[in-house]
Structure 1
Amino acid sequence: MSTKVTAMPGEVWAYRASKLSELMPKLVIEIERGTRRKALITSPDDLGAGEWVPLLRLKVVWSEVEQFLRNEASWENISTVDLRERPAEHALMTAFNILIDARIAEPTFREDGITIIHDVAALAAFLDLPAEALLTDGSSFCDGPDLVVPWPITLLIVTSACRRYPGEILAECDVWEAKRGRTSRYGSMFTQSDQIAIDKEIAPSYELLRAWASRDASRDRGRSEERLTELSERLAELTRSVEALVELASERPSPLGSDAG
């Protein structure tokens, strides 16, 4: 959770001395926003000389501290997944960078699978999903105007985007495959062992992207094959029925032949 520090002299802000410290009200006396980015603060009840502290230790204006604590608890309780050095990490960032406008939604950069949705309606329309589909996880929460969602919803977002707009993703995969092929033929700036390590780390992420983007095509192809099999079986059955009728008709005596006799 990030907080933009907009403190002004004369305001009372919530101050946290360390990560595990409680928030304390502090009166802001002076702000230094240059390279030092510090604030001169003191206790509202004891207007002493004050002390200079890093500006980022001021978390929120004191009148909003209860909401800040609720949001902080929500961030602690949201479902997370460790994506570090996993194929999904690179695949996720690639899909977001190529397909999804950061003004609509963006992943956090903590490699935990969390996404911040800035515009639920716009994202749902972009993905051709009902907005309710983005609201199904109980650990999601609102942080100001944004909706914060965990990995299951993040996965829904990226897979839906790749399935709906596969062209750019598959093109990106093709570019990487072509580059990989050139490297194998002509070499690269990396040592052979380094290049093998890079390929081993990156290749699975492109395989994952291709699977996300190709899933609908595979499913549609499977449905077409099932439909073709069904039609073939029906045609064979119809052919057998026609052949049986022809055979039956050939075995019956001709009415004209009987009259002539």
Structure 2
Amino acid sequence: MNRGLHLTEIIEFLAAASADLILLQETDVHARRTRYINVPREIARALKMNYVFGREFEELGQGKRGCPAFHGQTTLSRFPLSNPRILRFRRQSRFWQPRWFIPRLQTFQRRLGARMALICEISIQGRTMDVYNAHLESRGNDELRYSQLSETLSEAESNSGKAHLIVAGDLNFNISRGPAASLIADMQLDSPFDRLAGKKTVRDRGNAVCTAIDWILTDKTLRSSDPEIHDSICTSDHYPLSLEICREGGHC
């Protein structure tokens, strides 16, 4: 979402997509940079969808007196959302933490909180779907991100039971190779965007290497089709991903 800086254009794209389930990362609530709007609520109202917002950080340089600003993940659904909860990762970067020698100004982006996954349950045609909306650390290295991914998938495996499973979000590294790919294979998850051969999911960032860092994973009881990276949409520094998901032998 890149905070929701281009909110009107984002809502227009999401409305045209007419999706049943939307997972957003980096959404602002009451932040100066997004005009103190509750971005998740504005999107939910415009799309007439149920939503849950999970606080990842309090943005110390973005609030105003008596009204703190927050930043986090938002899950929207045309189906009822239940049992929302947050998994805060055990391993975190210390980069964002406030320090006495760093002013709490917008420029320095000091925060209270931690990277996490927002978890919700959706009931569709009598079956439960566990949805993990994840945002892994952008600072640090791939070893840290792998640890956070492993914690997410382990928690999902231990709690899913007979439920369907979707894990998606801004993972901030390429999970189609190395230990992450082995972990996903061992857990028998499908990674539909592997089929797009590493097509980048972020816009050019100067000298930074742009690659696929946003992903959607599903369990093998779900059948996915038409994975698409919408690289003509420039309302954020990341491109939207979309996918059609059906139950095996069931309805989409």
TM-score by length of 1: 0.23
Higher relative contact order (CA 8 A, sep 6+): 2
Highest Rg: 1 or 2? 1
TM-score by length of 2: 0.23
Larger strand fraction of residues: 2
Larger helix fraction of residues: 1
